[in-house]
Structure 1
Amino acid sequence: MVPLRDRLPVRRPPYVNWLIIVANVCVFVWTQALLSVAGPRGAEARAYTLLMEYGLVPARLVQEPLAALPTMFSSMFMHDPSGWAHLGGNMLYLWIFGDNVEDAMGSRRYALFYVLCGMAAALAQVVVNPSSVVPMVGASGAISGVLAAYGSLYPRSPITVLNPILPLWLFFGLFLELPAWVIILEYFVVNLFSGLGSLGGTGGGVAFFAHLGGFVAGALLVRVFLRDKPPRDHDRWTQFRPPAQRPKSPYGPPYGAPPPRRPSGRDPWGW
């Protein structure tokens, strides 16, 4: 399922989340510029050099931990240079879910939380395959931690997704609205089974255990970094069809104030 938006406004601009997105896009544009300068014949070799230089290579981190430590950070901002799909998918998830996690934690705590989840993701992949010489790049591990935090804080927040079942278009249309926990649980389960299925394999591919490591780290760290305890109240999912209109202000009604509390009882999915 591809998420498209949520209905949970933030109370203050998510500057750190925006900066992370901009940084990822700028790094990708920079890599594309270097590849274009190298020309068609040298682009593949140049791309491999960039990935080896700035990506996280598990074997290198194990053999030379101090020298390879900076790549644990730089790899969070590098993406597959062969196309926009890797970057676009990651930034879509970060745009939808990251702003509300930053809103709950505060900008500085969110920045540290994001980096720690990314580092935990990298370590998880290294532990599973310490002899790998395939460079690991992408923000997916850190974003997995953001997803876990969002699911913990706002499990019933309505998320609009692209309807993946063609016959249901006749009943619900092109878009569906599902509670956040369904989207995030599906993400975790898919990565879990894909990761278990990849054990014993060789070569490159998706770093599923990095996703799982970042997710577990986010689930464990979210309450440590939470600024408002308990988290703010939010709209609960009630139906499959998304509403006709979204809230007028992206920063809550009014700006800087939390949304009105709903008279419903205690959320069994909350803390």
Structure 2
Amino acid sequence: MKKLFLVCAIGLTLSINAQELKQVTYNDGTQQLNGMVTSNAGEKRPGVLILPAWKGIDNEAKQAALELEKQGYIAFIADIYGEGNIPADNRAAAKIATQYKNDYKSYQQRISLALEELKKQGAIADKIAVIGYCFGGTGALETARAGLPVAGVVSIHGGLVKTGNRPVSQIATKVLVEHPAEDKSVSKADYENFITEMNAGKADWQIITYAHCGHTFTNPESPDYNQLMAERAWNHTILFLAELLK
């Protein structure tokens, strides 16, 4: 009996240890970037790039990566800001996130570099999708606007505004927006302008709106967290990814 318990305990430990995230260092010129990848890196699998919220790689992004690994994907969490630039509080996060939203080409560049790193970690080049939370949700949409080579993007309570005086370009990638109904950071005009943009770009797009939800409704550490709607949003994400990456 003791031997059986020991074997089970060892098996459980190995199972837990097998699913760990590993840090991956890559660069944008002289700026060091520190991403994280799931333990199945090196295998040939479909890949998902995760763009974290405005404070950088957080628990929500990490948990998403681990869950995606269970679904059979290689998941890579991008480092958008780089070493030495991780914001310490909301004020600092708002400042640096706004900087990248305005300088959208730099944001797109960092996303592109992360996509290349995901491929280096074993992701099949034509079976890659992007998901992003909050600021990262904005980045998911910037991925589509930039025409980066991905099958689809998921913007989870992301900003919908396209900053800068940019012409509407054709959007080839599929787009899913998971939008909290009571998100005060997205105005009615923002919402309607986004739909106009998607239609003008001839995009394959959809918006799912979640009732009784504030901005960061998917994050268990947020006062806006809505467990039921967060679970529904995650299920919608998994369904969308299965369609894209099957």
Q: Identify the TM-score tier after normalising by the shorter chain.
A: under 0.3
Question: Which one has the largest radius of gyration?
Answer: 1
Higher relative contact order (CA 8 A, sep 6+): 1
TM-score by length of 1: 0.23
Higher helix share: 1
TM-score by length of 2: 0.24
